[in-house]
Amino acid sequence: MADTRLIHGRYRLLEPIGRGGMGEVWRALDESLGRHVAVKCLKPLGPQHDQSFIRVLRERFRREARVAASLQHRGVTVVHDFGEYEGVLYLVMELLDGQNLSQLLDANERRPLPVADVVDIARQVASALAYTHEQGIVHRDLKPANIMRLTDGTVKICDFGIARLGHDIGFTSRLTGTGIAMGTPHYMSPEQIGGGEIDHRSDLYSLGCVLYEIATGAPPFDLDDAWAVLVGHRDTVPEPPRSHRSELPDFLDRAVLGLLAKTPDERPADARELGLLLGPGTPAAGLAATAVLGAVHLPPSLPPLPPWTRSMTTGHKATGTWTVTSTPTDRATALTGEWTTAGPPRG
């Protein structure tokens, strides 16, 4: 990047506001339109890196730009521009004034969020997911760090770096590598863990994990060992959120447990159905959730966890990411690592 930190004579980088394993996010000024924006830059990689890994990483970044730019919903981050400058890929997005859900939990000393806020966040994310799923897009990495709550109360889904287009499965498989599931352990669906077919209901499971955490202060399987977390997702029925926090409304408790069903067919059919279950907090809503979701139970048999999961690490809860150490293709998942709050550059 040039010393002037001016991209294409238009975007002037002002200060870093987030960083991850393979890139940075900057607050910037769009000098053509006189507005502040966020610019996500993919760090240039030198010749010491595997060239096939670099190609996959760059293509995944381009893919995020295309996917995000195709979405037009108040619950999804707006993408303004995308390009390459002096070997650096960049993505220009709306600058959001707020905090992600992980930061909100941290600011609240890891205590659960107010009940009204949990319900409001659930409804807004359900609406945004309903829209993205209707466009044939599955996010595949929904977690607290990828959901922003703005100062005006608007909730937005961010980071579509490993999203999959329903009609583009072949292309996606070339990016992810055969048999490699991608996501963050505390929020991965059982079918992701097992390397099975993934559809929009995997996002619903991940949302259930997110809602469980912001409602109780901890994810449903609050374990430090990645393998134990994965086994929990696969084998263990989670404790009802109300067993940790009695003031949670019954309709929310039922909806979250329904989202956390082990098999996709046991979950709500789609995010719009979930939105109905999260409707007005009345006894009728609770009865509707009971009628639609039914009892939560384990499927009769499940395949063993695939061998590659043994190399996963949990990272931090809420903002943690996992890493794998077997192949260069696996390392490309670092593109969608956590984005932290602004701070001094690390040495």
User: Which CATH number is 151's domain given?
Assistant: 1.10.510.10
Cα–Cα distance measured from residue 243 to residue 179, given in angstroms and rounded to the nearest whole number: 36
Cβ distance 119 to 249 under 8 Å?
yes
Residue 45: pLDDT band (50, 70, 90) is low
Residue 196 lies in a domain: yes
Q: Domain of residue 74: give its range.
A: 6-94
Catalytic residue among 30, 50, 141, 159: 141
Cβ distance 297 to 234 under 8 Å?
no
Same domain, 41 and 135: no
φ, ψ at 17 (rounded to 5°): -120, -5
Residue 117 lies in a domain: yes
Residue 335 lies in a domain: no
Q: How many CA atoms, within 13 angstroms, populate the side-chain half-sphere of residue 254?
A: 25
Q: Is the pLDDT score of 340 beyond 90?
A: no
pLDDT score recorded for residue 337: 35
Question: Which of 94, 123, 158 delimits the end of a domain?
Answer: 94
Beta-carbon contacts of 4 under 8 Å, excluding residues fewer than 6 positions away, are 12
- Residue 141 annotated among the catalytic residues of the structure: yes
Residue 225 one-letter amino acid: D
Q: Tokens 């993919």 sit at which residue?
A: 42
Q: Is the pLDDT score of 202 beyond 80?
A: yes
Q: What angle do CA 37, 42, 48 make, to 5 degrees?
A: 165
Residue 286: pLDDT band (50, 70, 90) is very low
CB burial of 232-242 (b: ≥16 within 10 Å; e: otherwise) equals bbbeeebebbb
Q: How many domains does the structure of the chain reveal? A: 2
Same domain, 109 and 146: yes
pLDDT score recorded for residue 20: 67
Same domain, 31 and 102: no
Residue 10 lies in a domain: yes
Same domain, 105 and 240: yes
Task: Specify the range with the lowest mean pLDDT, choosing from 73-87, 96-110, 180-194, 323-337.
Answer: 323-337
Mean pLDDT of 234-250: 95
- Greater confidence (53 vs 93) lies with 93
φ, ψ at 189 (rounded to 5°): -75, 155
Residue 337 lies in a domain: no
pLDDT score recorded for residue 4: 52
- Greater confidence (281 vs 44) lies with 44
User: Which CATH number is 20's domain given?
Assistant: 3.30.200.20
Same domain, 210 and 312: yes
Same domain, 73 and 106: no
Cα–Cα distance measured from residue 289 to residue 253, given in angstroms and rounded to the nearest whole number: 9
Residue 343 lies in a domain: no
Q: Tokens 């903002």 sit at which residue?
A: 319
Cβ distance 20 to 334 under 8 Å?
yes
Residues of the chain above pLDDT 90, percent: 49
Same domain, 57 and 111: no
Same domain, 205 and 317: yes
Q: Please compute Rg for the chain using Cα positions.
A: 20
Mean pLDDT of 8-14: 94
- Greater confidence (39 vs 311) lies with 39
